[in-house]
Structure 1
Amino acid sequence: ETKDRKNAVESYVYDMRNKLSDKYQEYITDSEREAFLASLQEVEDWLYEDGEEETKGVYVAKLEELKKVGDPVEERYKESLERGSVIDQLSYCINSYREAAVSNDPKFDHIELAEKQKVLNECVEAEAWLREKQQQQDTLPKYATPALLSADVTSKAEALDKFCRPVMTKPKPAAKAEPPQAKGGESADDGKSEPQPQPPVSGEPMETENPTQGSA
């Protein structure tokens, strides 16, 4: 295992040195690159001299020391590769929910206007956030710490989806049940006549609108 740790340091030195002269070149300042290359050369020399027979812990510490400089460079490079796709995903999410909220499609008619407005507000907020972050990022050189991180864009898209999806996919209310049908296709109430007024009891006159008014 100690040999594996030593090999890991050696591989890192060779790999990072090649990348600093290639795809990582724009993601580190010239002065930092020169200093880092010098450190890599120093570690390589150490591996074949004093560090040839060291303990596992020493090799682990040496690799961690190099990664403190190399990891931020690698992260800036990875961010530049991933940023475009996650921005596209967030933009698609914003546009999809905004179009649904303003759509005249009958399938959205049962959703209250106030709820649709909340969706629109969330889309506006997400779009404004993305625009501001993109403007900040565009002013930065590639070797600077990014202002717009892919993880933040992904989180924003997930939050927007979590808010909007339950609103825009709200199921339509269930249709009212039809009255039970009797035989012959008529409803159970069909054929029933309205109750008729009963005739007065024999010998008693029906009341009129002015029961106290006598005949002239």
Structure 2
Amino acid sequence: MAGDGACAPPCGPAARAASAGGAWFDSADPALVRDHVRACEVMARFNAQQGMPDAERMEMLHGFLGAVGEGSTLSAGAQVDYGYNLFLGRNCFFNFNCTFLDGAPITFGDDVAVGPGCSFVTPLHPLLARERARQEGADGAGRVWERSPPITVGSGVWIAANVTVNPGVTIGEGAVIGSGSVVTRDIPPRMLAYGNPCRPVREITEADSVADALAEAGIA
């Protein structure tokens, strides 16, 4: 089933604009709408196959997602806008019901752990209501303006449950994001951060090691 339902990388001008991020583009462009519909179909099949081993399920996403690193797993309920702008490193784990609005690249390093109900959202829309509303072009087609700064999550990051990561954010290597946080700005590496808006609280150091507790329990 490898590559089942997969779509090729973006080939039209609108799809390229969506994947590049940063510049304004029309998210109602027919090429992007087709890519989104295809993505919904692929993810519906993927989410329906809960009886399959994880490795076999993930094979369905090879050639559909931008990259699927060895040993990485998406749990049930995962949703994407396009798929081809989502890049997973090695040995990443995403718990139930994670959402990736990948109008621009959303990139994860290796060994990233993400809790249930997390959202990674790249789209930004105009603040003025008249510019945000669907508009009719001279050709009668609808226009919906959007721009999508990319999101980057470094290796070794742990993101707890129900976190929202906003457009353009970079989370540094080894950081930990507390549950329920809304990440609106970059988080430095190896920092414990939480809140709405999410703020760095303190550095994560060797004093946080649980090695002694594991050894005492006889499980290390």
Under a length normalisation based on structure 1, what TM-score does the superposition of the two structures give? 0.20
Under a length normalisation based on structure 2, what TM-score does the superposition of the two structures give? 0.20
Which of the two has higher C-alpha Rg? 1
Question: Relative to total residues, which structure has the larger strand share, 1 or 2?
Answer: 2
